[in-house]
Every structure is written in structure tokens, then in C-alpha cells.
Amino acid sequence: MNIFKLYKNKFSEILLSNNYQCNFSKLTVEPPRDPAFGDLAYNAPLILSSNLKKKPLEIGSDISLLIKNNFSEFESVELVKPGFINLKLKKDFWFNFLSAFGDNKDMLILEKKNINIEYVSANPTGPLHVGHCRGAIYGDVLANLLNFVGNKVTKEYYINDYGNQIHMFAKSVYARLLEINEKVPFPSDQGLYPGDYLKDIAKNLINKNVIQNLSNYDAIKDQIGTMAMNEAMLMIKNDLFSLGIKHDVFVSEKELVSRNLVEKTIEILREKNCIYEGILAKPKGNENEDWEPRSQLLFKSTDFGDDIDRALKKSDGTWTYFANDVAYHAYKLERKFDKYINVLGADHAGYLKRLKACMDALSNFTSDFECKVCQLVKLYKSGEPYKMSKRAGDFITAKELVEAVGVDAVRFMMIYRSNDSQLDFDFDLVTDKTKDNPVFYVQYASARIHSILGKVKFNEKDFDKKNLNLLNTDVEIDLIKKLSLWSKCLEVSSKNLEPHRIPYYLYDLASSFHSFWNLGKENSDYKIIENKDSNLVQARIFLLNKILLTLKSGLGILGVTAPKSM
């Protein structure tokens, strides 16, 4: 239950029934900046004043009175200077709140949506590297979050298993096959994929013993390409698995092409008058010597907010990558989702507008399509930038990262910053077992609670909830109030697609808990289980259970474990 939203709605009803008119969406009920002001701050007098042409404080006294007369749960209703109404809830309210507290799963949205989220979509030419990790985890956590609050989510991966890069990939694997079988040195000057993992792929192909006629490349190149790509996809799925990621749907570009979906989609755009033959201007500031004016089949993406129109056909007459991608997005639309999310890396941010343009064109502006861009990750080791070797192909893989620091740390830290900000990832910090390491700090709270729960018998069914009013001290009430922010956190995170708010909330909750825990050291009244009053012990265990429930839910969304001991 989001109490802020609840009271916003309740107050709006009261205003309406008393003939107050305004833009109700501008009214807010929020926790005040300073807890001394109370539990809720209502801004209605400020918003209404311009409508009614009266001073906020004048209007405020009327509204305060309405609230006092209609609600009994407020200890105080106070009208203050610019025009806020500060409300303080009685302790009984918080005991009731705690008594009914759940994990908020499926509770938060009225409109449940069928959502498609595409993320990772790394090329099937090798394992995932560190650069892929952030988008992969962001997409995955976002999917978990949207699912948690009640949506139906389809996690999708688009496989670029078509086009020139696959030819290069097949050639590269072929060169490795020759290297292994015929001792032909691997050529370094042909732009082939250099990574060592190609040797593994080649070895696997040899072990399967299905490639005949190794000397005739043209005869076997398609076979090699397909098999090598399957090997690479296995690597990728394996890497994703080690990151805790599992997609629901894999869509193959090759398959879309073979179903003639590209031609069909371009025809649809042509009927909508979005296609023409034209010449693009030379981009300024880009000293490309090979540039020459060229007449091409173009998509009129400028009609849909893009900066320039985009090429659909290459000079050799084949479709561009973008043309295939338009077809892919038509295929997404065909499957009729309520919302489409696409997670891209910063290096593909320039691609965003044309994707949005093609979705708008194909759906006549009816599709709810949102691209989220993850900025770059900078690696550090003990505070020093950790440079990857410039030698091509020598990159840190996702798997190596997970093996070095553990999947919990990778997932937590990758989501710990807003996706719009660059992220510093320090190898050493995330493996520290101190409070400097936020992953540890939150998990430690879980371990501490488990440690207590193992020492006391507690059964929620036998617990008399009337005893919750023994949680009478400010710190205990503050902990309950902290729990009330969880649903707000979920709501804001999912509405704005900003999962980074979750680890922040969990850190905050863990901090309040650690603080409470330590009070027992100076004042034995605050000891949780070594306490004479057994009803109080039970009430505190009830509270700890709810804190743990929240930690588990939050960490669950992040895909991070909530350990029982550490």
C-alpha cells in the first residue's frame, strides 16, 4: 500500500465533494524533507491559490479543517508558511500499517501491461564482454521490476545472425580450422576476428566431425557460419546464465529475412509514403574521403523526428542493417504488446531516433516505445583505471568479471547508478567485506536478521498483533515509516524505468536496521531477544520479519541473494 498515493486520492475526493476545482494531478502528498514536519506534506493550498485568487494560507485553513473533520488518524494537521499542510499520523496508524504490511507484489498498478523488453542482443560472434554487462543487467532488473509490480513481461534477444559480419566470422573460424588442421598461420591483416575463443569454436567443430572438404571454402562457408554462430550463441547464453539472465524469446534476423519480412515491411512503409529514392548530404565535420553522392532507397525518418533520413539499401542492392531492423520492429508490433522497451549501449544512442521513427511510422504513432540508453562503465582496480590491452580481441569477458567478484556484486553495482550516468566499477571495492561496499552492507543486514530469527521461536499465526503497539519508541516507529517508503520506491522506479532507486532504498533500509541493532549495545532495553518482555520480543521479531521480507523482495528484483549467514 502506497500511503502517499492513498491520501492524495482521499484528499482529492474531499476537495471535489466540497466544490474545489483545480488541476488535481498537480496535487501531491509526499514525505516532507524534514521529518520534524510530520509524516505527510500536502501542497493543495499552493496549487489552489492561483485558481481561487486567494492567498494559500487562507485556503489552507479551510482545507485543514476539512481534513481534521474527515479523518481521525492524524495526530496533528498543521498549516505552515508558504502553504503546505503538514500531517502527522498517530502511532496506531503505524501499528496497523505494519500489521498489514506485505511485499507489495502485484499490488501497485491498476493497469497491468503486456510488455516486451529487448536487451543484450549482442552479435553472435563471440562471448559477452564487460561492456555488455551493464545493459544486460539493467534490462534484466527492469524486467524483474516490471514483472514484480504486476505486468506481464517478455524478455527478448535479437540475434544479428545475418549479413557481412557473419561472413567475416565464418572466414575467421575457417582460418582457425586451417591453423589447427593444416598448420596454416592465422592471417592478421585481413580484418578477421582475432580472439582466442575462435580456436575453441574451431576445435568444437572439428570434434563434431561433420565438416567435409575443408579445402573448398565456398562449399562449406554457410555450414561453418551457421555452426560457428550456434557455438557463439551457446557461449553467450552461458555467459548470460552466469549473470543470472535468461531470455524468454530469441528472434533471428536471418529467419526474418528468409520469411521476406523485410520486403513486406518496406512495402507497408511505401504505402504510407515514407519511402523515396534520394541522395543524402555529406555529414559535416566527418572527413570521410570515400564519401560520394549516391542515390539510395531512403526512409523518411525526418518526418518522425529523426535528424536525417536513413538508408534502407546498400549500393550493392542488399538491405541495410537498419532495413532488417525495421522489419524486426514490425514483427514486434505484429505480436501486439502494450509497451515496448529497448535497452541500448551508449555507443548505439545515435540509433535511437530512427528506431522510434520506424515504430511511429509503422504504428501511426500508436505504439508505446521507449529506448533506454546505458552509459559506459569505467573499470578501476584499487582506485586506478583498469585498462584493457589495446591488442585487438583482448577484452575482459563478462564471465571473467563474474568469476573475479561474484554475480551478486556485479548485478548490484551495475544497477547502483542511474543508467544515464557513467559508472565507475572498482574490482576491489566490490569484494570488500566492509560497509564501504554497498553490496556487502545490504546483505549483511539480511544475515544479521537471519541470525536473530534462528534464535527465537516465532510463528506469525500465533502472534497477537495487538502487541505491535509495544513498538513504541521513535526508532521503531521510524523503521515502520521506512517500510512505508518501499511501495513508493517501487512505483517511482517502475513508472520511470529507473531501477537504480531500489539499491538506494535497500541501502537506506539496511542502514536504519543496523542503527537499530546497535542501540542494544548501549541500552539493554533495545536488545531484541535478550529482553524480559516476551511480547515485546515477539513484536520486534514481527518487525524484523517485515524488514527481511522487504530486503528479500528488493534483492530478488536485483537478482542478488539475501544470505542467511556471512
Residue list 177-206, contact with RNA (CB under 7 A): none
366 makes contact with RNA (CB under 7 A): no
Calpha distance 199→210 (Å, rounded): 17
496 makes contact with RNA (CB under 7 A): yes
Closest approach, Cβ 350 to RNA, in A, equals 3
Calpha distance 537→120 (Å, rounded): 48
Q: Which of 521, 526, 556 is nearest to 544 (CA)?
A: 526
Identify which range of 108-116, 191-199, 292-300, 549-557 contacts RNA by CB under 7 A: 292-300
Identify which range of 384-392, 463-471, 521-529, 546-554 contacts RNA by CB under 7 A: 521-529
**How many CB atoms are closer than 10 A to CB 226?**
14
Closest approach, Cβ 10 to RNA, in A, equals 18
* One of 138, 441, 486, 542 touching RNA (CB under 7 A): 441
- Interface with RNA in residues 384-413 (CB under 7 A): none
Return the DSSP state at 32. Answer: -
Identify which range of 28-36, 68-76, 243-251, 335-343 contacts RNA by CB under 7 A: 28-36
* One of 285, 385, 462, 464 touching RNA (CB under 7 A): 285
Calpha distance 424→417 (Å, rounded): 9
Task: Look at residue 494 and give its three-state secondary structure.
Answer: helix
518 makes contact with RNA (CB under 7 A): yes
434 makes contact with RNA (CB under 7 A): yes
- Do residues 176 and 188 make contact, with C-beta atoms less than 8 angstroms apart? no
- Interface with RNA in residues 297-356 (CB under 7 A): 307, 311, 314-316, 320-322, 346-353
Residue 366, C-alpha cell as written in the block = 500508436
Calpha distance 81→87 (Å, rounded): 14
**Which residues are CB-neighbours of 4 under 8 A, at least 6 positions away?**
29, 30, 31, 40, 488
| Helix or strand run (H / E) with residue 371 | strand 369-374
Identify which range of 97-105, 197-205, 397-405, 525-533 contacts RNA by CB under 7 A: 525-533
Phi, psi for 241 (deg, rounded to 5): -60, -40
* One of 6, 184, 388, 492 touching RNA (CB under 7 A): 492
The single-letter code of the amino acid at 287 is E
**For residues 4 and 178, which CB has a smaller minimum distance to RNA in the complex?**
4
Calpha distance 30→492 (Å, rounded): 13
**For residues 230 and 242, which CB has a smaller minimum distance to RNA in the complex?**
230
Closest approach, Cβ 132 to RNA, in A, equals 13
134 makes contact with RNA (CB under 7 A): no
444 makes contact with RNA (CB under 7 A): yes
Identify which range of 14-22, 47-55, 107-115, 129-137 contacts RNA by CB under 7 A: 47-55
Reduced 3-state DSSP string for 483-509:
HHHHHHHHHHHHHHCCCCHHHHHHHHH
- Interface with RNA in residues 61-90 (CB under 7 A): 80-84, 86
* One of 99, 123, 230, 242 touching RNA (CB under 7 A): 123
Question: Cα 211 vs. chain centroid, distance in angstroms?
Answer: 43
Residue 540, C-alpha cell as written in the block = 520486534
**For residues 2 and 467, which CB has a smaller minimum distance to RNA in the complex?**
2
Closest approach, Cβ 351 to RNA, in A, equals 6
**How many CB atoms are closer than 10 A to CB 519?**
16
Total interface residues for RNA by CB under 7 A: 104
- Interface with RNA in residues 87-116 (CB under 7 A): none
Return the DSSP state at 204. Answer: H
534 makes contact with RNA (CB under 7 A): no
* One of 193, 340, 412, 440 touching RNA (CB under 7 A): 440
Closest approach, Cβ 324 to RNA, in A, equals 8
**How many CB atoms are closer than 10 A to CB 424?**
14
Calpha distance 20→14 (Å, rounded): 9
Alpha carbons within 13 A on the beta-carbon side of 154: 17
* One of 35, 187, 191, 283 touching RNA (CB under 7 A): 283
